[in-house]
Amino acid sequence: MKVELYDTTLRDGAQGEGITFSLEDQISVVHWLDGLGIDYIEGGQPASNPKAARFFERAGQVSLKHAKIVAFGGTCHPHHKPEEDESVKKLLEAGTRHVAVVGKSWDFHVEKVLRTSLKRNLELIGGTIRFLKSRGREVFYDAEHFFDGYRENKNYALSTIRAAQEAGATRIILCDTNGGSLMTHVADAIDAAKRTVDVPLGIHVHNDSGLATANTLLAVEKGIVQVQGTINGYGERCGNADLCAIIPNLCLKMGLHVVTDAQLRKLRDVSHYVSELGNIAPRSNQPFVGHSAFAHKGGWHADAVSKDPRTCEHVPPESVGNYRRVLVSELSGKGSVAAKAKSIGIDIDRDDRRTQELLQRLKDLEEAGYQFEGADASLELLMHKARGTHKRYFKHAGFRVIVEKREDNQLISEATIKVVVDGKAEHTAAEGNGPVNALDNALRKALEPFYKQVTEMHLSDFKVRIIDGKAGTGAKTRVLIESSDKEDSWNTVGVDENIIEASWQALVDSLEYKLMKDERTKKNRAARRKKK
């Protein structure tokens, strides 16, 4: 059975709170969705605003390998004929071969929202579809609130989709617009719809009861041929069905190859790209594509997955473009530590005395407030120290940070620092827009005469967490720093009652990690050249 993928991220997804796509963003998303193997991309409602109309102008110039662009609109106004209705005219002006028309299926909405008769609503559905068909369009009819309408008035809800079939709709999409339907009701309503019409059916589900993915997959089992959703489940209120969960379930669990294996491996990248454009932080625990989707923290879980990933993973992470992570924390055992070390290229024997000492050290540090789940670089340095393979690239002989507020309310931060490299001392100072920034600038300035590559890196994120708020301004502080260079990014951690000291610890780890990884890369390249 061929199941079509219909994406409405640019229309329904953009209605999610806090999400805005520029026109350039929209065109970029179209390219990514096309590469993912989406069959239909709903570009928006051309009658809604000028930007939506411009999108279809631009989209008409885009060369797509697979996907087809769909324009969205409603049935004509109750007091208009379809050929006179401005919103219907805009659908034609969009220039797409496929259009989606939404109409009322719930008698309650017909009377309270549309404020017309039930008979007139059927005329609007049929008349609008017939007009668009007469102009050469393929029409997908969205039966809005179908499941609520079926629950309240079965006969009328079914009469609306019968009217759409008689008018020539190419697909009829059953919509759980309020997102409140349970699976048993969805199944019953789909069965009734299949007995009523012969047109292939689609499903469009919102997630207000947390059942959007489940109801969508159930619909496919019931013979639905088109599934609609958004990337990351973005959408109004609680969102829409999440294509990032639906697609891998269809491919890997139900044997329906809606995309190729190569396209499926792009899923995580598409998920994160759309979240970046939408200015929404990726959800860590999102199924399949989340950063934590294949993260193992419990000791026996990590041990089991190191022996056979199928013990604790329902699909291979690489199949959806993700990767396995072994987290080390106070919950870890020797197996977790050994597995984590192996994942970053460090050979540690789980039965070695040093492994037990490292495990105890980790637990002591986490008890003190450190957290290594999000600080892999600090963890790797700690492992090297435990094995005696840590190289100390520099020694700090002290620092001083001054923050001065002048009469004009201008704040000045200055850091003075002294480091020693191979017996040579470097004493320097630098300013910054804050004490941590000044300290960062001074440390890298002091190291630059010895290690030129420190100029390539920069601090890309800085997070501060108060560990025990009851201690007030004297509370212990955890600082997480993300650093980046041209090729990579890494995270380090520091903890202390003094935020400057906590920041200093994280900064030192960050620079040591940069120097260590650059030295490792240089050695690996030399080894490859030697083999050649």
* In-domain check, residue 358: yes
Q: What is the pLDDT of residue 331?
A: 47
Neighbours of 363 (CB within 10 A): 15
What amino acid is encoded at 283 in this protein?
R
Same domain for 323 and 252: no
* In-domain check, residue 9: yes
Reference 454, options 465, 462, 442, 464; nearest CA is 442
Instruction: Kindly give the interhelix angle for 183-196 and 154-167, rounded to the nearest 10 degrees.
Output: 50
Same domain for 140 and 65: yes
Sequential DSSP letters for 452-515: GGGGG-EEEEEEEEES-GGGGGG--EEEEEEEE-SS-EEEEEEEESSHHHHHHHHHHHHHHHHH
- Beta-ladder partners of 426: 419
For the chain, the residue count is 532
* In-domain check, residue 388: no
Same domain for 203 and 313: no
What amino acid is encoded at 134 in this protein?
S
Reference 183, options 156, 153, 222, 223; nearest CA is 222
Tell me the CATH number at 236: 3.20.20.70
Count: domains in the chain: 2
Same domain for 231 and 135: yes
What is d(CA 16, CA 229) in angstroms, rounded to the nearest whole number? 13
Give the position of tokens 């026996």. Answer: 300
Q: DSSP 3-state assignment of 388?
A: coil
- Each as own residue / partner, the long-range contacts of residues 244-249 (CB below 8 Å, 24 or more positions apart, any chain) are 244/270, 244/271, 244/286, 244/287, 244/288, 244/289, 245/213, 245/286, 245/287, 245/288, 246/213, 246/216, 246/217, 247/5, 247/36, 248/288, 248/315, 248/319, 248/320, 249/213, 249/217
Q: Which of 326, 342, 367 is the last residue of a domain?
A: 367
CA 389 to chain CA centroid, Å, is 37
Same domain for 208 and 306: no
- Both structure tokens of 199: 């047109």
Q: DSSP 3-state assignment of 331?
A: coil
Same domain for 247 and 186: yes
Reference 134, options 90, 167, 86; nearest CA is 167
* In-domain check, residue 424: no
What is d(CA 118, CA 156) in angstroms, rounded to the nearest whole number? 8
Structural domain containing residue 154: 4-277
Q: DSSP 3-state assignment of 95?
A: coil
Q: Report whether 33 contacts 271 (CB < 8 A).
A: no
- Beta-ladder partners of 414: 402, 431
Same domain for 307 and 205: no
What is d(CA 521, CA 525) in angstroms, rounded to the nearest whole number? 6
H helix intervals, 265-369: 267-277, 299-307, 334-343, 353-367
Q: What is the pLDDT of residue 334?
A: 60
Q: Burial level of 78, CB count in 10 A (0-12/13-18/19+)?
A: middle
What amino acid is encoded at 41 in this protein?
I
Q: What is the pLDDT of residue 254?
A: 97
- Both structure tokens of 282: 């990726």
What is d(CA 416, CA 63) in angstroms, rounded to the nearest whole number? 57
Q: What is the pLDDT of residue 385?
A: 86
What is d(CA 405, CA 268) in angstroms, rounded to the nearest whole number? 46
- Both structure tokens of 121: 């609503």
Same domain for 192 and 332: no
* In-domain check, residue 398: no
Task: State how far the alpha carbon of 176 is from the alpha carbons of 38, 185, 229, in Å.
Answer: 22, 11, 12
Question: What Rg, from alpha-carbon coordinates, does the chain have?
Answer: 29
Same domain for 315 and 168: no
Give the position of tokens 């109750």. Answer: 78
What is d(CA 97, CA 94) in angstroms, rounded to the nearest whole number? 9
* In-domain check, residue 207: yes
Same domain for 324 and 260: no
pTM for the full predicted model:
0.70
* In-domain check, residue 99: yes
Same domain for 305 and 269: no
pLDDT average per 10 residues of sequence, the chain (532 residues): 94 91 91 96 89 89 94 94 92 95 96 94 97 97 98 97 98 97 98 98 98 98 97 96 98 96 94 84 89 76 75 91 70 61 67 75 78 80 84 90 84 92 93 90 93 89 75 76 86 91 94 92 82 70
Q: Which of 367, 389, 417 is the last residue of a domain?
A: 367
* In-domain check, residue 66: yes
- Both structure tokens of 223: 């013979």
- Both structure tokens of 350: 């789980």
Q: DSSP 3-state assignment of 414?
A: strand
What is d(CA 461, CA 194) in angstroms, rounded to the nearest whole number? 53
- Each as own residue / partner, the long-range contacts of residues 472-479 (CB below 8 Å, 24 or more positions apart, any chain) are 476/368, 476/369, 477/502, 478/369, 478/370, 478/371, 478/502, 479/503, 479/505, 479/506
What is d(CA 139, CA 133) in angstroms, rounded to the nearest whole number? 7
Q: What is the pLDDT of residue 469?
A: 56
Q: Which of 226, 251, 277 is the last residue of a domain?
A: 277
Q: Report whether 41 contacts 77 (CB < 8 A).
A: no
Same domain for 340 and 206: no
Neighbours of 519 (CB within 10 A): 14
Reference 203, options 132, 14, 194, 155; nearest CA is 194
